[in-house]
Amino acid sequence: MKKEAFLDYEDRHLAALYEKMPILAVKGKGASLWDYEGKEYVDCMGAYGVAIVGHCHPKIVEAIKRQAERLITCHASIYNDIRAEFLEKLTRLAPTLPRVFLSNSGAEAVECAIKLARKHTGRKDIVAMMGGYHGKTFGALSVTWNPRYREPFEPLLQGIRFVPYGNLDRAREAITSETAAVIAEPIQGESGVIIPPPEFLKGMKEICKEKGALLILDEVQTGFGRTGRLWAWEHFEAEPDIMCLAKGIAGGIPMGATLAREEVMASLAKGDHSSTFGGNPLACAAASAVIDVVLGEGLPRRAKELGDFFRDGLKTLQSHYSVVRDVRGMGLMLAMDLRFPVKDVLLGALEKGALLLYSGRTTLRFLPPLVIEKHQIEKVLGILEGLLQREQEKMEKRKV
């Protein structure tokens, strides 16, 4: 079949909700993707940050194969060996949050966190962050900032208040004796890799404690080493009461997880919440292997080292090309603001063999697998250099 026929099927039948890249991906390995015609790309999109351990990591593939031959489905009302082992491993990585609800996506992990906070505190209000992103189901959408996502679907949850991300004084005003929880990303992802001031999360944790509210940290994008530490909150010494995980947790198999303190999760009674697929053995086998790979290959440290190298390279580009407005990020969660829409750069990069991601109209985002090789980063920097030079020349021509 011709490439165009596949694109046509998707265009005609998949709900037209996504800004499509003109690439038909068929194979992946590490930080490389191949299209239908066999062309190789360095993948800095990483399936929106899902591909933490890279594409088709042999240990993940092996775990999935082995489990697929033993047992694919098993409801959480029945015990399962692989699920049990996975839970034990996962909670060892967050010892103060030993209770886990397993679901299938980031939004679901957030839904559980919101219900949990309301039930545990008996309060209704939630304080959320401007610029925050938590998913698009009704509960998660209600605490997501972008009005373009929210307004067409109102009415949403009642009692949500948004405060400027990073502004502790405004957070202090908003958190009251009616507040069930504060929800935040430790580093904002969708709004373009926004790092809060160093004392912000710790300060919010203290205010929450004072007011009897819970701190929910959404580590869906930042978790599992992405930012150079296993959990991004470790950079800020602000351990949450509830933590949401998803994206890379199961190596690309759908999974979400809501981790909570023992007495917090104890407020949900039998039947208060559930998920048919949650805790699925195939996903648990993959997730268990992901933990082995993340720890075994020292991926958080690797993300720090390669992230510093990548960011330095981007900063050098910034110093050479005035079309670059800003470069920032932590670990392998990086962003570059341009002075013009990024669309041509995205498409140009694709043509040259680099798959990049965007955040809004003028920001490039980089969420490569943590197993990316240095020479692959160098290749991406080289491609970007060529494209920035082209854009710079275009801009200077317009000026004269």
- Interface residues toward ligand PLP, by CB under 6 A: 105-107, 110, 133-135, 185, 189-190, 218, 220-221, 246-247
Cite the beta strand spans of the chain per DSSP E.
25-29, 32-35, 40-43, 99-103, 125-129, 160-163, 179-184, 214-218, 242-245, 256-260, 324-330, 333-338, 354-355, 357-358, 363-366
- Least CB distance to ligand PLP at residue 140 (A): 6
Give exposure, 293-317, as e/b (b: 16+ Cβ within 10 Å). Answer: bbbebebbebbbebbeebbebbeeb
Nearer to ligand PLP, 208 or 245 (CB): 245
Here the tokens at position 70 are: 């033993």
- Least CB distance to ligand PLP at residue 28 (A): 19
Q: Which amino acid is at 310?
A: F
- Least CB distance to ligand PLP at residue 231 (A): 13
Here the tokens at position 293 are: 């790979």
Nearer to ligand PLP, 43 or 111 (CB): 111
Are the beta carbons of 164 and 155 closer than 8 angstroms?
Answer: no
Q: Which residue is nearest to ligand PLP (CB)?
A: 106
Nearer to ligand PLP, 185 or 337 (CB): 185
Nearer to ligand PLP, 359 or 376 (CB): 359
- Least CB distance to ligand PLP at residue 214 (A): 17
| CA separation for the pair 32, 9 (Å, rounded) | 25
Nearer to ligand PLP, 18 or 79 (CB): 18
What phi and psi values does residue 327 have, to the nearest 5 degrees?
Answer: -135, 135
Here the tokens at position 86 are: 């996975």
Nearer to ligand PLP, 128 or 317 (CB): 128
- Least CB distance to ligand PLP at residue 50 (A): 9
